[in-house]
């Protein structure tokens, strides 16, 4: 979350959608105080989605965003569970980086009509997933 805020333009509006965990408002308050120190003109907006039913208008409006993140978390846990966690900080960072790369650049998403969230034209001409990974790695260096 800090990296998303760091790379956003100062005027960009940032919205955080969470469940009812009380630690989120405290974290958002802290991040808003950091933004105020940097003379940012906007604050992070916070919306709560509570429970499994839409009992409030806020939950109804923002539930699709929460469901998207929950799907991402389930998929991530599915890949981490066989490894029984991580032996080192570098292992956690490496797997997370690979997972985010796969999720954003390679995996077609149903809600995007089976397109990737971040389409890169230079990846279109690769016939296999292995060649696509090689292209991603060569672009990263």
Q: What is the pLDDT of residues 61-119, one digit of tens each?
A: 888 877 777 777 787 778 777 766 677 888 888 888 888 888 888 888 887 888 888 88
pTM (2 d.p.) = 0.53
In the numeric block, which tokens belong to residue 84? Answer: 């029984």
Give the range of the structural domain holding residue 47, as residue numbers without chain letter. Answer: 1-85
What does DSSP assign to residue 57? H
Same domain, 76 and 35: yes
In the numeric block, which tokens belong to residue 106? Answer: 């390679």
Same domain, 42 and 95: no
- Structural domain count, the chain: 2
Question: Is pLDDT larger for residue 126 or for residue 9?
Answer: 126
Tell me the pLDDT tens digit for each residue of 12-43.
788 888 887 888 888 888 888 877 777 666 77
Which stretch of 51-60, 86-95, 116-125 has the lowest confidence by average pLDDT? Answer: 51-60
Same domain, 72 and 44: yes
67 within 8 A of 51, measured Cβ to Cβ:
no
Please work out, in degrees rounded to the nearest 5, the angle formed at the alpha carbon of residue 29 by the alpha carbons of 23 and 30. 90
DSSP three-state, residue 41 = coil
Same domain, 78 and 122: no
Same domain, 75 and 139: no
Same domain, 109 and 81: no
């Amino acid at each position: 979350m800090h990296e998303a805020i760091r790379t956003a333009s100062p005027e960009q509006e940032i919205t955080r959608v969470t469940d009812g965990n009380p630690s989120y408002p405290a974290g958002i308050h802290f991040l808003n105080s950091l933004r105020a120190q940097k003379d940012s003109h906007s604050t992070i907006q916070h919306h709560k989605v509570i429970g499994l039913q839409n009992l409030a208008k806020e939950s109804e409006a923002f539930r699709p965003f929460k469901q998207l993140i929950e799907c991402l978390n389930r998929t991530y846990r599915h890949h981490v569970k066989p490894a029984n966690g991580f032996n080192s900080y570098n292992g956690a960072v490496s797997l997370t980086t690979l997972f985010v790369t796969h999720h954003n650049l390679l995996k077609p998403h149903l809600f995007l009509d089976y397109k990737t969230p971040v389409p890169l034209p230079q990846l279109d001409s690769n016939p296999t997933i292995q060649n696509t990974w090689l292209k991603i790695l060569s672009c990263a260096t």
